[in-house]
Structure 1
């Protein structure tokens, strides 16, 4: 075959592939005007130049949004974005709405947001719930992709929404996966964030190649197998979670898979399954004096454990792991404990050393490093997570944020045990495997969405 024929064939193949990729997409921006869009909430500047939408920051303005006049349900949205200021952030709203009474009548946008974060935090591609629930998928859940965003260059964004699933991609790298029930449709918006100082005035953001695919053409792109998926649908597993080894430890309706600690069956009283929750009932703060602790029938060594918990005011409980039940002690069974506590009202928060008995801490050993904004108060659900890797590295998370880590069995770990209440038990917390435990500390605490994945 002649050289010119080969080149012609390659060109045809490339253009054919591009055409196939672009099939079903329609443009949301005509390259010349802001037709189909409108500005809300703030006074930042939006203009059109060189086939791009340009946003510009101004002083004394709340977050400003350029929103689509149409709303979208299931879709794949693609666009390219570049930011000039690395000290601020931006975002792309989707399935979003506006409260016209917010911001003193200027309107306040709320809903899902694809985060654009060129700062040192590097959370670009994470999913934020603007003006409502805060972070749904912070990138502490997926640190391997935190360098996907390119500074001073255009970044390719892809947002996929189908049914209750949301998937985000940045520069062709899978970033976040969320299953959620709040919004099935809404508008798309381009954000110019409010600014804090005069040096940020006049900083620009550029958006281009904004296009969308809707309807029956929407198919979710397969994800890599090592991603953690946030699932806010209680006591369920998505197809992606099932495919990648997650299993429910509580099905929302029964106590299957659990028994009382030091018992052969589930406690006859003290625990209640109702409305999709597993609740330990109050006994006026008397530890293990009612139903007692419950443990999984199965034992685990390396695992990724996720659970939701809801406290009543002043409540105390815990989720323990590597529980062997070999101590045969009175009161609560012994094990490494992810503390579940109302830090504001329960006195245990002020005991121990340097706050190592507060929520999400490794009880009496390591203090959870957490910000108040990521603590949900009694009556609200919190998401806890414990990851134990095959090499015995352990991590605690609270509402998606990693709050501590340590190496089980290391000298540093042994030194902490030696000055704790656990020093009386030889080789505390170093068993090869053990049960997962939910603690009865005498206060009403509810659990749901308890799931686990074994790690190899």
Structure 2
């Protein structure tokens, strides 16, 4: 386990005295909590709403340690730096705990707000740290905008948030079905050390996931990442069908690049924008937020010479779509026009299983989502909110067959170029972008 500050014994405080729930209060749902054998026991109650046992005090910078034992098949977690809104709903960061084959325990989830921030698909090697049906020990270090977690001595998550927050710590009893009513979650040995100086993060080995706004970490710079958009100007971008940046249809404000609503037509207002230089092998990452019913996309291997008429420039597309509200989600073949899909070619699929059931893709309507496109020669991968949703190989018989049955069949050699521009699409709907960065790759083929 990573070394942190040398902490004097009198700095470590018990959040739970082992006898009663003094200093805690129940929030939101109808589940119950009791103390038994020096443990806090949360008893599940059927219903969709979760229940939280929360500290009455707020915390910002700290080392939190605790042990938990989940009932079979249950989902839970510990809220950190969390708040309660005007409707009494608890929201904020949660250190996950789950008894499932997905094994994302000690990953970071943003409860009732932004969804998954650090799913363990970012660090799959750490999935083996969980001990199903046994006591598990968690350590969380939160300092300024960084949150790092360990599970049974294994460094699981390494998260850098855009902002620093303060708030309560709370134990969750998740909503459940009638078949799980009365089941128990248990916690013990809950302690906290409040920090007034930075701990030593030098031993952290989990991959860093950064949400810094239009800013690269020192680690990212060392790894060869570069900002594809600086967050302030139009440098590095131009209109897909012009030499300069569009005079209308796009807006830059507060570090966010927005394509404005203009009635839903494809590339009929400000038009698509593209990078001023092509890319061959790369990892592209950006955050996007779509408004209700919106349609847009991220294209790559774009050749702006292919289509000089009406409509969008031609290239492979990571689809951005409100699947629930936009009619395009039901067009194409088997959902191959839904969010995260390789548009009109390959359907985005969650590929994950939780207790034997395949969940839907992790998409956050009205919140920021993270797209990642990895290109290594002919092998391409789409990642949505940390989870792989599409993988394919170009220049194969299968690829040519897919193209032949798509809207791209009229473009000879579609998607087979060695390099191309990157494009953000104007489809007439309001969509926001930020944190656009790229890591060019040198691939030996």
- Tell me, yes or no, if the aligned pair for 1:254 and 1:273 is still in contact at 8 Å: yes
- Could you tell me how far apart the structure 1 residues matched to 2:377 and 2:157 are? 26
2:66 aligns with one of 73, 76, 79: 79
RMSD (Å) for aligned C-alpha atoms: 3.3
Match for residue 353 of structure 2?
A: none
Give unmatched runs, 5+ long, in structure 1: 1-16, 103-107
- Tell me, yes or no, if the aligned pair for 1:56 and 1:202 is still in contact at 8 Å: no
Please list the CA deviations of residues 127-172 of structure 1 after superposition, one character each: whole Å capped at 9, or x if unmatched. Answer: 2222334333333343333232111233221212111222222233
Q: Partner of 2:52: helix, strand, or coil? A: strand
Q: Do the aligned partners of residues 389 and 117 (structure 1) sit closer, same or farther apart at CA in structure 2, a change above 3 Å counting?
A: farther
Matches within 5 A, 1:165-176: 165-176=146-157
- Tell me, yes or no, if the aligned pair for 2:76 and 2:172 is still in contact at 8 Å: yes
Which sits farther off after the overlay, 442-451 or 76-85? 442-451
Please list the CA deviations of residues 199-231 of structure 1 after superposition, one character each: whole Å capped at 9, or x if unmatched. Answer: x34533333332222222442524767725141
- Could you tell me how far apart the structure 1 residues matched to 2:4 and 2:299 are? 52
Q: Do the aligned partners of residues 432 and 110 (structure 1) sit closer, same or farther apart at CA in structure 2, a change above 3 Å counting?
A: same
Match for residue 12 of structure 2?
A: 25
1:65 aligns with one of 52, 58, 73: 52
Question: Deviation at 1:91?
Answer: 0.7
TM-score where L is the length of structure 1: 0.81
Count of aligned residue pairs for this structure pair: 428
- Please state if 1:317 is matched with 2:296: yes
- Please state if 1:158 is matched with 2:139: yes
- Tell me, yes or no, if the aligned pair for 1:386 and 1:394 is still in contact at 8 Å: no
Match for residue 391 of structure 2?
A: 405
- Please state if 1:441 is matched with 2:440: no
1:266 aligns with one of 216, 220, 245: 245
Matches within 5 A, 1:60-139: 60=46, 62-85=49-72, 87-99=73-85, 102=88, 108-139=89-120
Match for residue 335 of structure 1?
A: 315
Match for residue 415 of structure 1?
A: 401
Which sits farther off after the overlay, 272-281 or 118-127? 272-281
Structure in which a larger fraction of residues adopt helix:
1
Q: Partner of 1:146: helix, strand, or coil? A: helix
- Please state if 1:213 is matched with 2:199: no
1:251 aligns with one of 230, 238, 247: 230
Q: Partner of 2:427: helix, strand, or coil? A: coil
- Could you tell me how far apart the structure 2 residues matched to 1:373 and 1:45 are? 33
Match for residue 12 of structure 1?
A: none
- Tell me, yes or no, if the aligned pair for 2:44 and 2:173 is still in contact at 8 Å: no
Q: Do the aligned partners of residues 48 and 314 (structure 1) sit closer, same or farther apart at CA in structure 2, a change above 3 Å counting?
A: closer
Question: Deviation at 1:321?
Answer: 0.9
Match for residue 330 of structure 2?
A: 350
Question: Deviation at 1:125?
Answer: 1.4
Please list the CA deviations of residues 260-313 of structure 1 after superposition, one character each: whole Å capped at 9, or x if unmatched. Answer: 235443334443323333233455444334433221123323333222334455
TM-score where L is the length of structure 2: 0.83
Larger Rg: 1
Question: Deviation at 1:389?
Answer: 4.7
- Could you tell me how far apart the structure 1 residues matched to 2:325 and 2:190 are? 50
Question: Deviation at 1:19?
Answer: 11
